[in-house]
Copies of this chain bind each other. A is one copy, B any other.
Amino acid sequence: MSDFEDHPLYGLMHPRSVAFWGASNDPMAMGSVQLGELLAMGFQGPIYPIHPTQKQVLGLRAYARATDVEGPVDLAILVLPTRVVPEVLDDCGKKGIKFAIIVSAGFAETGSEGQTLQQQIVSIANHYGIRFLGPNCIGAVNPRHKLNTTFYPYEATPGFIGMASQSGSFVTQMFIHLAKFGLGFSQGLSVGNEAVTDITDCLEYLGKCPWTKVIGLYIEGIRRGRDFLRVAQEVSRRKPIVAYYVGGSASGRQAGLSHTGALAGRDEVYNAAFAQTGVIRATSMEELFDFCWVLGSQPLPKGNRVAVLTNSGGPGAAAADAAERSGLVLARFSETTREALRALLPHTASYANPVDMTFARNYSDYYETIPRILLEDEGVDSLFMYFLVPHKRVITSVLNAMTGGSGDPQAMAVEYMKTQARAVTSLAASYGKPLVGGSFYTRDELFIRELQDRGLPVLSSPERAVRALGALARYAAFRRDA
């Protein structure tokens, strides 16, 4: 832990008090929205709005300058017009503030004049020993510390995914994306123009964070290539890193340049760097989080032999096809496994791999007995399961019939689904092999929610689940060789 607390970014992400520039009683001002979210998050320490004229801002006592604040201030958040940033940063230095988040844009990303201004704020920061994030960033979120400096409500739970991003949107707008799966950030940092703190610093920091089980990176271009390679290699020996890199095409490169002034390189260069350091590349934001979910929650497989369990032929075939395209192979089952399956499955079923149960009367075979048989096979390194959600009308009428109409079928149906979910998830824990689910149903369904909340990743389709298992196998291969 102390290694974590010693990192230069620890203080920025764990302030005990905050001074805030750019919020006012104009609700439409971006700063007002951001301060509103910090309040909504329930930040525990004192917050000091700084405003030249207003005495109160959003119900808090406001101050004309940082130096007017009596108590100590750990973190300055600046949501100000570009031109006043240097002067305010100088005030921060005089107040003894050691950390800042500079949200204001209009610096290096806009051309040479902006570059000069950015150089100016770097000099001021260096003079006072201020460590800052930005400019042109959206700040950071640390849900366990009740810190949210962005203008989006953080409504998800504290999670295990650490994020460092060259796009603020790909921190903030992921709050709702993660919430779709019951996931959340351990910490999220938007680096903006990376004037003094870049994505490599954040990677190093998240590498030390005990709550972060996996690190997601959104990259438009890496500034300090050699340092990135060193840090990535060191971190990915201990925890997985997943990167979504958009600078590999000419169009992505051009867009990134005008967004944050990032200098990007060709796909080949980045692919080689990622391969060398064990960084797993994702090809979209959705895939980044799919991969993070599985890599951050599942044990490392011994190899790339996957078992596919389904009760629907199409999803099984789609999973098989996606498996091969993701570098996995369909496991060949042992004779013991084949015999055990033959005894259990209906004659219409397939007991090769994929195992397709077709329509089954006994749900517990699907959720417990068969996955156990597959996980016990030494030729199986990982398991994919397709999840249907039994329709409520069916369950209810079945339970009604079983009990002769006594008892509350609705409540029994809920209990029944919880029991099945418990069976699958406790199974996963006991074999030390990765188990990943896929379903077209969402968390709106109790059954899916139960599975996910018990720690089983259930991704949005069979293909996405299997691709994530492929990513996990690639990472496991790196760890074996590292």
Which of A's residues lie within 8 Å of B, judged by CB? 26-28, 30, 33, 36, 40, 82, 105-106, 110, 136, 151-153, 165-170, 173-174, 176-177, 180, 218, 220, 244, 246-252, 254-256, 258-260, 283-286, 308, 312-325, 329-330, 347-348, 350, 352, 354, 356, 358-359, 361, 388, 391, 393-394, 397-398, 400-401, 440-442, 460-464
Contact = CB atoms under 8 A, between A and B. Distances in A.
Contact of A105 (B168, B314, B348, B461): B348
Contacts of A105: 348, 358
Nearest to A348: B105
A284 B314 contact: no
Contacts of A463: 283-286
A255 B317 contact: yes
A464 B286 CA distance: 10
A189 B248 CA distance: 41
Contact of A251 (B27, B246, B320, B359): B320
Contacts of A256: 317
Given A169-B314, A255-B319, 20 more contacts: A27-B394, A28-B361, A30-B359, A36-B393, A136-B348, A153-B393, A166-B314, A169-B312, A170-B314, A170-B318, A180-B442, A246-B317, A246-B318, A246-B320, A246-B321, A250-B324, A251-B330, A259-B314, A259-B350, A283-B463
A337 to B, nearest CB: 16
Nearest to A319: B255
B398 A28 contact: yes
A75 B358 CA distance: 25
A324 B314 CA distance: 31
A398 B26 CA distance: 8
Contact of A176 (B347, B393, B400, B440): B440
Given A318-B284, A321-B246, A347-B110, A401 B26 contact: yes
Top 4 closest pairs, chain A to chain B, by CB = A167-B314, A252-B321, A169-B312, A259-B313
Contact of A284 (B106, B250, B252, B464): B464
B259 A388 contact: no
A297 to B, nearest CB: 21
A173 B105 CA distance: 46
A388 B177 CA distance: 12
A398 B320 contact: no
Contact of A152 (B153, B314, B350, B391): B391
Nearest to A40: B393
A325 B313 CA distance: 31
A136 B398 CA distance: 24
A152 B359 CA distance: 13
A321 B153 contact: no
B317 A220 contact: yes
A481 to B, nearest CB: 25
15 contacts: A106-B347, A110-B348, A152-B391, A166-B314, A176-B440, A246-B318, A246-B321, A247-B317, A250-B324, A255-B316, A255-B354, A258-B350, A259-B316, A285-B440, A285-B462
A449 to B, nearest CB: 15
B30 A324 contact: no
B442 A33 contact: no
Nearest to A402: B28
Nearest to A306: B251
- Among A153, A320, A324, A401: residue with most chain B CB under 10 A: A320
B350 A441 contact: no
